[in-house]
Amino acid sequence: MDIIDHESNEKTYTNYMKYEHGITKTGWIIFVFLILEDVLVRLFVVKQPSDLSNIIFQGLLLSIYIILSIFKVSHAKNTSTNQKRKIFDLIKVFEIITIVTLISTMYHGVFFHFVALLPITFISLTKGFRKAIPYILLSFAFQMVANLVASTLLQGNMENNINGVPFVIISIVQYLLFVLFCYIWSGIYNEYVRSEEENNILIDRLGDKYVQLEQAKKEIQSHYDKLIKSSNQLEETNSRLTASLAEFYTLQQISQAITSIFDMNELLKFVNDVIIGVMGVSHSTIALCYGPQNKLKVQVSSIFDKKDLAIVSDFINCDILKPSTEGGHSMIDNAVTEEDYPFTRGRNIKAMICVPLLAKGKTLGIVLIEHSFKDAFDDENMRLLEVISQQVSIAIENARLYQQMHDLATLDGLTGAYNRLYFNDKLQEEFKNAQAKGHDLSFIIFDIDHFKKFNDTYGHLFGDLVLKTLSSYIMKTLRKEDIYARYGGEEFVILMPYTTLEQAKEKAEDLRMGVSQLNITDRVVSASVTISVGVSTYPETAGRAQELISTADDALYEAKHAGRNLVRVAKPRN
């Protein structure tokens, strides 16, 4: 509590010195009016002759008071706190003496002595009631002395003033009332100051709490920011995980396709659909390399318009795609123009990615995806397409290997026709279809006339050339659904679904005539051959699959027996 009192006095003293200059000026005005009142009272009320010496003396005292006040204020601004207090106490003593002396020279001075006590009031406020008591006693004692001196020296001028016992009584009453006032004032003010200080302490504590709350708020904000950052990281991780899962699913689908789809076109169509779904693009095109110059040829595309697809096919080998086709590098461009990319003409393409299909360091083709918006792709899109393309390359390589194995298993190595084993399987399959659906199934068998003698004359190499030339011609004349096979040696067969006996006979005759007109040469030897042909048809001449072969073979034997280079038809069933 003593600390509170000390701090409150310090603060009060500081506040008092802050307004001391204004208080001092107010005192100047009061004393000027008191001197003026004294002069007027003497001239007009008590009718005393004007005493110039008294007025001069009062003016001198007022000047001393003003000088002391100015000195007090100026030194209070330029000295330390302890020095301020010492100077303040000393000057305050002289002020009190000067004021008491000045009021004692006035006609009604006894009634104005309370003015001299006003500075002491501020002492009681700044230093407390106990500190003000010496100043009060000093003022009272000096007032008694000053009044005695004034009444002696200025007796003629103060004859109607109150002197003697009445003066002492009035002064004592005034001072007692003033002491009581200072005591009450000091107590009230001290309580006010104490309350204010306690409020300040409370405010300080609240300020500390506020600072703590601000720190807690900052910590909470920091934790919140960390949570937001962690949430963003989790969201980013989740996005990457989702993308990885989508990528994994895509690759899984492609891997399944690799192991289950062996037809090249069917496989590429499936992969192209997957790319469109995963990448969300406007168009996707897969082009493969063919020929000795490795030229690109569109294999599958999502472009359905024939005119647009023709433009793509015409310009797919443009120079701007050579980094992919020749260098094996991926390309991305988010500001595509028709001038730079001629294969995009008329399709409003603004962005594209081109990724090569690589296998064993060789470019198999490209995957080209396109979008109608600028800046549609980023490096992550290109990376994903590269991963997909790696799988596609494996799929293409596997499909080609499968095709090669299939060809080895089903095709005759010399002529390119199907072999006998594959043909027998297809015969059973097509015969069951003919029975189930009730359509005709024709069978043609032929062999080369006098082929052994031909071989003996020109050699086996030329004989092989005859077989290859003959097969090449036959395969060009057949339909897609017809099945052509080498049945043994120089003997060949053709299975023709949905073909009547008469149609098969006409086809056999056309083949016989066409073969007879072939000129077979190896640039040294030139020759021509003829064939004998037998024809049979289900259900007209055969009721079972094996009967197709046997009845057609009988017709072939008949053609040979009749002179060769002929077509003969099996006899109808009974």
Q: Is the peptide bond before 323 cis (omega within 30 degrees of 0)?
A: no
Tokens standing for 205? Answer: 């504590």
Tokens standing for 382? Answer: 């290109």
Count of H-run helices and E-run strands, the chain? 16, 12
Other C-beta atoms closer than 10 Å to the C-beta of 446 total 27
For every residue of 451-467, DSSP letters joined together read: HHHHHHHH-HHHHHHHH
Contact status, residue 497 vs residue 430, Cβ threshold 8 Å: yes
Rounded to whole angstroms, the Cα distance separating 219 from 213 reads 9
- The SS3 of residue 309 is helix
What distances in angstroms separate CA 309 from CA 227, 312, 530, one per listed residue? 53, 5, 45
Other C-beta atoms closer than 10 Å to the C-beta of 231 total 10
Strands 531-538, 567-569: pairing is parallel
Q: Which of 490, 491, 540, 558 is catalytic?
A: 490
Q: Is 540 a catalytic residue?
A: no
Contact status, residue 68 vs residue 87, Cβ threshold 8 Å: no
Q: Classify residue 202 as exposed, middle or buried by CB count within 10 Å of its CB (0-12, 13-18, 19+).
A: exposed
Q: Classify residue 215 as exposed, middle or buried by CB count within 10 Å of its CB (0-12, 13-18, 19+).
A: exposed
Q: Which residues are catalytic?
A: 490
